[in-house]
Copies of this chain bind each other. A is one copy, B any other.
């Protein structure tokens, strides 16, 4: 109601554009993705994209921003369904993995776009990512760990492990949920010797 028909059409086109950009950036990286190829896949001309976004970088920013919001939402939703600290962390890891390993998911661009690849945006992108990772800072703060445990290193290890999954993950690997369970178990329990 708040939007006229025209505006809604506009919105639709913008959304389609954003979706396509997300997919391609996630799979092919920033440099590997061309404005042309995005346009082509949604029956638009390259020039038309510049009506919606003022540059390729701006388009990436928009996608990244949505991506962060979406995965934040997803992970938060997952967390809320568990109650104990370790369970909540595992739920978060599982949700994160799912997002990150799904080709069509915005979340993927968060780990597939290397901020350093986009000279002008490095700082902003890094900040956005850090903002998201705060979720994990908190989850790990809530863990009943001894004083000697370096919670920062704990987080860096865990996030590194799950972000790198995109490199080796294949559809017939363990499921994201299983990976989450196994990784959390490695961190939590004494190795069974």
Q: In the bound complex, do residue B164 and residue A117 qualify as a contact, i.e. CB atoms below 8 Å apart?
A: no
Looking at the assembled complex, report how far the CB atom of A149 sits from the nearest CB atom of chain B, in whole angstroms.
Answer: 6
Q: In the bound complex, do residue B159 and residue A164 qualify as a contact, i.e. CB atoms below 8 Å apart?
A: yes
Which B residues touch A161, using CB under 8 A? 156-158, 160-161, 164
Looking at the assembled complex, report how far the CB atom of A27 sits from the nearest CB atom of chain B, in whole angstroms.
Answer: 7
Which B residues touch A183, using CB under 8 A? 153, 157
Which one of B116, B145, B157, B187 lies within 8 Å of A192 (CB-CB)? B145
Interface residues on A, range: 35 or more
CA distance A29 to B117 in the complex (A): 8
Question: Is A83 close to B, CB under 8 A?
Answer: no
Looking at the assembled complex, report how far the CB atom of A117 sits from the nearest CB atom of chain B, in whole angstroms.
Answer: 6
CA distance A64 to B29 in the complex (A): 20
* Contact A174:B186 (CB < 8 A) given known A117-B28, A192-B148: no
* Contact A149:B179 (CB < 8 A) given known A164-B163, A186-B187: no
* Contact A179:B153 (CB < 8 A) given known A29-B117, A190-B189: yes
Which one of B148, B164, B186, B192 lies within 8 Å of A146 (CB-CB)? B192
Which B residues touch A135, using CB under 8 A? none
- A163, A191, A192 — most chain B CB neighbours (10 Å): A191
Q: In the bound complex, do residue A29 and residue B114 qualify as a contact, i.e. CB atoms below 8 Å apart?
A: yes
Q: What 0/1 readout, one digit per residue, does chain A (166-193) give for beta carbons within 8 Å of chain B?
A: 0110000010000100110011111111
Which B residues touch A192, using CB under 8 A? 145-149
